[in-house]
Structure 1
Amino acid sequence: MIWLRAEYEFGSLFSYRIPNFSPSFAMSSPIPGPSAIKLALVSSAIETTGNIEYGKRIFNIVKKSEVLVEPPDKVAISRQLIKRRKQELIAKKMQKGKSKIGKCSKCGQEKEIWEIDGEFICKDCGENSLISTFGIREYVHFSGPIKIFISVQDEVEKDIRNQLARIRQFGTSDSIVFCRKIENVEPSRNKCVQPIDIADYEEVRLPKSKMILILIDIAESSSFEDINPYTKGNRKEAFVLRPYVFPLIEEKIGKNWTIYKLEPLA
């Protein structure tokens, strides 16, 4: 087994909603989770070659690989009020309201309509509509590059190295990245985000001042079909949630922002 270290620069602020948090109050992880990194490699393999089978091969390699992330020296997280669009179950509001015959504000046809948030909407338009609303979302900004380490077999080093260099985003569309360099370097584990083994809770010693968040990884028992959105029929659950401890401590706190600095784990 060998370690590859890839350094990435983010092109702008980005946000990774922590699992199980509401989209209307989306707290962000400071880093992309293991699943986002592994799936970025699979996506890159398919996009650059056009070969689905090659993507499956990369998936079967990386799903069992250990992935570690070393944050930069400083990480800033700001909390913003944003305008967002979401699908609304208009039918529920229609059941509570009274209808009349009139012109629909969306399709312009004379139909049975309901007054919903100041607009007159027919049932057909209501079932497929998006409404404007507001929410809170955290955005992350790095002081420097993020370092991603992945452990792979010697015989697949070239394949993984090539795909690491071609990654352009991790998960969300706002996480645009470019790869600065790739080297054969082993990680300093005390500077990396680490999974917490909670199998025996009594023996876990959690650092009081460090950040602890839930991140998503890929289950080793999963298959490519389980993560492929175009798979027909039922798919097995491909992801697992794990707690991780971050080598970050608070340095400065403002009204809607926090600056963290890297502090190695004990």
Structure 2
Amino acid sequence: MIWLGAEFEFGSLFSYRIPNFSPSFAISSPIPGPSAIKLALVSSAIEATGNIDYGKKMFDMIKTSEVLVELPEKVAVSRQLIKRRKQELIAKKMQKGKSKIGKCSKCGQEKEIWEIDGELICKDCGENSLISTFGIREYVHFSGPVKIFILVQDEFERDIRNQLARIRQFGTSDSIVFCRKIENAEPPRNKCAQPIDVIANYGEVQLPKSKMILILIDIAKNSSFEDINPYTKGNRKDAFVLRPYLFPLIEEKMGKNWMIYKLEPLA
């Protein structure tokens, strides 16, 4: 087994919603989770070769790999009010509201309609429409590059190294990144966000003052490529697991809707 360390620079602010938080109040993790990093490798493999089978091979290479992220010296987090579009409320409002016969403001046809947020909408248009709403979302900015370490089998090093260099985003399309360098290097564990179950194997550890513990998503050991492939037909089993991570960060400054953390290595 060998460690690969890749240094990435984020091109802009980014946001990774923590599992189980509502999209209308989306608290962000300071880093992409292990699943986002692994799936970025799979996506890169498919985009680079145009070969789905190679993407499947890459998934099998890194599915159970240990992934650690070394944080930069400073991490800034801000909460922003954003406009959102969502679908699920229209059907619920139709069930509760009263209907009448009239012209739908979307399709222009005479049908049974409901008044939804000032618009007259028929059932067909309502089920396929989005409504405007607002929400809070956290965005993260790093003071410098972030280092991602992945433990791989020796025979897969070349493949994974090549795909690390090609990664352009982790998760959502707004998290644009570019790879600055890749090297064989052991991760400095005391500067990395670590899963609590792994830390327990190394004995007692002193928590930082902030005691920042967040849930991140990893890929389940018994999952398959078909489980993470959005084009798989039929039912897919859940390919992901939730793991609590300890972050070596403490609060440095705080405002009404922003916070700056600084790196404090784990003892």
- Range into which the TM-score falls when normalised by the shorter chain: over 0.9
Offset at residue 198 of structure 1 (A): 8.8
The reply on whether 1:194 has 2:194 as its aligned counterpart is yes
In the alignment, what sits opposite 2:216? 215
Q: Which amino acid aligns with 1:75?
A: V
In structure 1, C-alpha distance between the alignment counterparts of 2:25 and 2:204, rounded to whole Å:
30
Is this contact kept in 1: 2:11–2:176, CA < 8 A? Answer: yes
In the alignment, what sits opposite 1:241? 242
In the alignment, what sits opposite 1:5? 5
Is this contact kept in 2: 1:7–1:182, CA < 8 A? Answer: yes
Deviates more, 1:99-108 or 1:136-145: 99-108
Is this contact kept in 1: 2:18–2:28, CA < 8 A? Answer: yes
Specify the SS of the correspondent of 1:171: coil
Q: Which amino acid aligns with 1:42?
A: V
Equivalent residues, number: 264
Offset at residue 101 of structure 1 (A): 1.9
Q: Which amino acid aligns with 1:157?
A: E
Q: What RMSD over aligned residues (CA atoms) do the two structures have, in Å?
A: 1.6
Offset at residue 97 of structure 1 (A): 2.4
1:36-75 pair list within 5 angstroms:
36-75=36-75
In structure 2, C-alpha distance between the alignment counterparts of 1:198 and 1:178, rounded to whole Å:
29
Runs of 4+ in 1 over 4 A off after TM superposition: 203-206
Specify the SS of the correspondent of 1:197: helix
In structure 2, C-alpha distance between the alignment counterparts of 1:52 and 1:91, rounded to whole Å:
37
Question: What TM-score does the superposition give when structure 2 sets the normalisation length?
Answer: 0.95
In the alignment, what sits opposite 2:29? 29
In the alignment, what sits opposite 1:116? 116
Offset at residue 204 of structure 1 (A): 7.0
In structure 1, C-alpha distance between the alignment counterparts of 2:89 and 2:18, rounded to whole Å:
25
Q: Which amino acid aligns with 1:184?
A: N
In structure 2, C-alpha distance between the alignment counterparts of 1:246 and 1:222, rounded to whole Å:
27
The reply on whether 1:260 has 2:257 as its aligned counterpart is no
CA deviations over 1:9-33 (Å, ceiling 9, x no partner): 1110000000000000000000000
In structure 2, C-alpha distance between the alignment counterparts of 1:212 and 1:120, rounded to whole Å:
46
Percent identity, aligned pairs only?
A: 86
In the alignment, what sits opposite 2:138? 138
Specify the SS of the correspondent of 1:236: coil
Offset at residue 210 of structure 1 (A): 3.0
Q: Which amino acid aligns with 1:99?
A: S
Offset at residue 172 of structure 1 (A): 0.8
In the alignment, what sits opposite 1:182? 182
In the alignment, what sits opposite 2:19? 19
Is this contact kept in 1: 2:206–2:266, CA < 8 A? Answer: no
Question: What TM-score does the superposition give when structure 1 sets the normalisation length?
Answer: 0.95
In the alignment, what sits opposite 1:150? 150
Is this contact kept in 2: 1:198–1:204, CA < 8 A? Answer: no
CA deviations over 1:133-191 (Å, ceiling 9, x no partner): 00000000000000000111111111000000000000011100000000111111101
Specify the SS of the correspondent of 1:173: coil
Is this contact kept in 2: 1:88–1:129, CA < 8 A? Answer: no
Specify the SS of the correspondent of 1:186: coil
In the alignment, what sits opposite 1:162? 162
